[in-house]
Structure 1
Amino acid sequence: MIINHNIAALNTHRQMGSAQSAQMNNMEKLSSGLRINSAKDDAAGLTISEKMRGQIRGLEQGSRNAQDGISLIQTAEGALSETQDILQRMRELAVQAANDTNAGSDRRVLQEEMGQLVKEIDRISTSTEFNTQKLVDGSFKSSFQIGANENQKLDLTINAINSSSLGLAAGVEVETGVAATGTAKLTEGIYSIKGSDLVDAAGQKVAALTGGTTLTTAGGSTYTFGAIDVGDTVTIGKDGKASLTKDLDTGKTNTNLAGGTYTISNSGTDVLKDGEKIGTYAAATSVITFTDTSKGSIDLNDTFGMVAPVADGTFTVKAVDVSSHEQAAATITAINTAIESVSSERSKLGATQNRLDHTINNLNTSAENLTAAESRIRDVDYAEAA
């Protein structure tokens, strides 16, 4: 008989402690709703569950990212939609101007509206933004993170949609009023440089180009310019004088000068547009430096492939032109091409938006199924724990 220890009491205390611990553990599960509240509950299950939680939250954020991407695309597509509406109006004006029932004053009014519409296209291009990011000026090239893991992305590039990229800047009319020497002058009309020949609208050779400066007709009449290149256009007016429109060099764009006539005055140092000084001209380098420094500096030779304008002379930046039947007809074609370019860009954005719609559906489905799997590991079964 042992009287120093009460084994029955110790056993009862131990059993009570175990029951109390189990009761507390069950109460923790029931109150939290979780089967695993700490690593001791299920170390392996905790690791698997946390990995699944990371995936679930990543999928849910990826879905939100895709929705933000759709909002960005809708902003860009809205801008392009408005640009296309502008181009349709410009085409309407060009068709109207091509009709010779219009007098010169009528076409000048049509040209004024055309010029304002071109400026609005450029304004839309530079001012359309999403979260301070410019969308349609050619600088947008980004990736949307549409998954929970690295490299699960969708790349998107939006091309520039402005007057230059749409081919609405036709060239620069450099020299005007060049008179012919000799008697066999060319008749009124528009001619173009093809190789070393000047050809008429029907493609027939009417003069030969020599030295890159001189056009000589079969009758010996000559027109001499500063420089003539393939693709340039020569216009013979009613007065028999010739003007030269320089074709934009390959890869060059008119990014700073709007359409219209510019005057170089004050012995060739000031550049005027509509009587207002816009900058200064350095004849030695053929560079216009704009008074508004935000417009930067433009090299006439590099940008337009043109010879330096003469002091106290004029040069004309040719944008879309409806000043004559021929020019208006050519403008119709140019605008058709521009409309196709915008349509192509809108189609690309629409296809990307549709893709993101499917992406969101897939991400939401994956997150839902993964949540169910994670729940089976992490969440408590109330019927079992009660």
Structure 2
Amino acid sequence: MGLRVNNNIAALNAYRNLSITDGQMSKSLEKLSSGFRINRAADDAAGLAISEGLRSQIGGLKVAVRNTQDGVSVVQTAEGALTETHSILQRMRDLTVQASNDGGLNADAKKNIQSEMSQLKNELTRISDTTTFNGTKLLDGKYEGKFQVGANAGEQIQVKISTAMGASGLGVSGVDVTKTAQGITATTVAATSASASNTAATVTVAAATANSGLAEDFAKLNGTLTLNGKSLDLSSVSYDATAGSAARMTALNTALTNTFGGDVTAASGTGGTFVFTGPTPGNGLTADELATKQLTFTQSTGATKALKDIDAAIKTVSTTRADLGALQNRFDHTINNLNVSVENLTASESRIRDADMAQEMVQFTRNQILSQAGTSMLAQANQASQGVLSLLR
């Protein structure tokens, strides 16, 4: 073979292989020290792009879990306050039942009951005004919160409490158990004898406000109309909350027709009154027959009306608490689902991004041995050229 001095091909070959081995050793050390298979885009360009997308999802889902837990806290805060609201309403109902016992109570006793009722109403309003989460009122009827429960836009759950939970919002601010039934407080015009002319039996009922036909007038119709053994509790008539006075009057007349079969109709009077018109007695009726055709109105006692109002308030609070409880259960399921998603996405990202330490250690050991062997062979290759000196002696 030829002996050359200017170019030691064997040494160059050993150096090239040693350089490659050193580069691989550096990468193995970097992976082993960082725990990542991909430390720069050059390590795996496609894998880096995929793993960064997965990281965005994982980070967003982790924040979404915390957001959902905030939703649980909001619901628990509101529902916890309503627990006490329920207790207060139940106590008010107990007091109202006690106040209804007219045969065993005098006026002073009812005033004492009403005194406690007033304090309880004030506490209902205080709880509604002071129940907040991070400075935001929850029970004033205006709360509407949206919680981001996903990593992407639009993945939200809404919590809405649209009913004010104070005494006014629940419709119990006006309860007064000291009021007694006043009988037929309205003006009644009716035929009173068999020889009387055909005069319709009418009852004029004053509303609580002075403006005739307003929606709040209908809400203050508390009492019972009676005709020929049939009765209608006017406070039981349902009205559309958005309906005007004309639509409410139609609803009232529908309720009258359903009860009295068309014998009684309602119309607006003057000065905030309602005029209920009964059937027209015909000539030739006896006094007894005529009496059955007379329309009467009996005003509810304070305790009777209070029971209805408090029962309605209890139903409202029960419905709200049930809705909040359902939302909390939904939030709990959402958290469980998010945690599963985080777990699975993290596993996927780990397979792409993280280093297999055992495999990488095998590779590092191989490169370490090759580096040592390459260094030794480079030294041998450099020594090979010195054989030329024996020819020059």
- TM-score, normalised by the number of residues in structure 2: 0.63
In structure 2, the residue matched to 1:106 is 109
Q: Secondary structure at the residue paired with 2:146?
A: strand
Residue in structure 1 matching 2:65, options 63, 72, 84: 63
Q: Secondary structure at the residue paired with 2:147?
A: strand
Residues 192 and 5 of structure 1, relative CA distance in 2, 3 Å threshold: farther
Residue in structure 2 matching 1:39, options 13, 18, 41: 41
Is the Cα–Cα contact under 8 Å of residues 86 and 121 in structure 1 kept in the other structure?
yes
Is the Cα–Cα contact under 8 Å of residues 190 and 234 in structure 1 kept in the other structure?
no
Q: Give, as a single letter, the amino acid of the residue that structure 1 aligns with 2:166.
A: N
Q: CA deviation at 1:189?
A: 1.4
Residues 28 and 306 of structure 1, relative CA distance in 2, 3 Å threshold: farther
Residues 17 and 306 of structure 1, relative CA distance in 2, 3 Å threshold: farther
Residue in structure 1 matching 2:156, options 113, 131, 153: 153
* Identity fraction in percent: 45
Distance 1:335 1:251 in 2: 19
CA RMSD in angstroms comes to 3.3
Moved over 3 A (4+): 169-172, 190-193, 196-199, 205-210, 225-235, 249-252
Q: Secondary structure at the residue paired with 2:301?
A: helix
Q: CA deviation at 1:133?
A: 0.9
Q: Give, as a single letter, the amino acid of the residue that structure 2 aligns with 1:126.
A: D
Q: Secondary structure at the residue paired with 2:321?
A: helix
In structure 2, the residue matched to 1:139 is 142
In structure 2, the residue matched to 1:81 is 83
Q: Secondary structure at the residue paired with 1:148?
A: coil
Residue in structure 1 matching 2:95, options 93, 96, 109: 93
Is the Cα–Cα contact under 8 Å of residues 34 and 380 in structure 1 kept in the other structure?
yes
Residue in structure 2 matching 1:381, options 348, 351, 356: 356
In structure 2, the residue matched to 1:14 is 16
Q: Give, as a single letter, the amino acid of the residue that structure 2 aligns with 1:71.
A: S
Q: CA deviation at 1:383?
A: 2.3
Q: CA deviation at 1:190?
A: 4.4
Q: Give, as a single letter, the amino acid of the residue that structure 2 aligns with 1:73.
A: V
Residues 30 and 70 of structure 1, relative CA distance in 2, 3 Å threshold: same
Q: Secondary structure at the residue paired with 2:42?
A: coil
Q: CA deviation at 1:226?
A: 6.3
Q: Deviations over 1:13-59 (max 9, x none)?
A: 22111111100100111111110011010000000001101111111
Distance 2:146 2:56 in 1: 21
Q: How many residues align?
A: 271
Is the Cα–Cα contact under 8 Å of residues 98 and 325 in structure 1 kept in the other structure?
no
Is the Cα–Cα contact under 8 Å of residues 192 and 198 in structure 1 kept in the other structure?
no
Residues 306 and 141 of structure 1, relative CA distance in 2, 3 Å threshold: farther
Q: Does residue 1:116 correspond to 2:119, yes or no?
A: yes
Q: Does residue 1:337 correspond to 2:312, yes or no?
A: yes
Residues 370 and 82 of structure 1, relative CA distance in 2, 3 Å threshold: same
In structure 1, the residue matched to 2:255 is none
Q: Give, as a single letter, the amino acid of the residue that structure 2 aligns with 1:364.
A: N
Q: CA deviation at 1:209?
A: 3.9
Distance 2:58 2:165 in 1: 39
Distance 1:23 1:306 in 2: 96
Superposition pairs of residues 327-366 of structure 1, within 5 angstroms: 327-366=302-341
Q: CA deviation at 1:208?
A: 4.3
In structure 2, the residue matched to 1:5 is 7
Distance 1:97 1:325 in 2: 14
Residues 169 and 306 of structure 1, relative CA distance in 2, 3 Å threshold: farther
Distance 2:222 2:358 in 1: 92
Is the Cα–Cα contact under 8 Å of residues 192 and 234 in structure 1 kept in the other structure?
no
Deviates more, 1:159-168 or 1:14-23: 159-168
In structure 1, the residue matched to 2:182 is 189
Residues 198 and 169 of structure 1, relative CA distance in 2, 3 Å threshold: farther
Superposition pairs of residues 191-340 of structure 1, within 5 angstroms: 191=184, 208-209=203-204, 231=218, 232=220, 326-340=301-315
Residues 226 and 40 of structure 1, relative CA distance in 2, 3 Å threshold: closer
Q: Give, as a single letter, the amino acid of the residue that structure 1 aligns with 2:182.
A: G
Q: Deviations over 1:313-341 (max 9, x none)?
A: xxxxxxxxxxx982112211110110000
Q: Does residue 1:127 correspond to 2:130, yes or no?
A: yes
Q: Does residue 1:167 correspond to 2:171, yes or no?
A: yes
Q: Deviations over 1:185-204 (max 9, x none)?
A: xxx714577xx9799xxxxx
Q: Secondary structure at the residue paired with 1:138?
A: coil
Residues 226 and 348 of structure 1, relative CA distance in 2, 3 Å threshold: closer
Q: Deviations over 1:44-93 (max 9, x none)?
A: 00000011011111111111111111111000001111101000000011
Residues 41 and 110 of structure 1, relative CA distance in 2, 3 Å threshold: same
Distance 1:66 1:336 in 2: 34
Q: Secondary structure at the residue paired with 1:40?
A: helix
Distance 1:80 1:326 in 2: 29
Q: Report which of the two has the higher share of strand.
A: 1
Structure number with greater Rg is: 2
Distance 1:358 1:10 in 2: 66
Is the Cα–Cα contact under 8 Å of residues 46 and 378 in structure 1 kept in the other structure?
yes
In structure 2, the residue matched to 1:273 is none
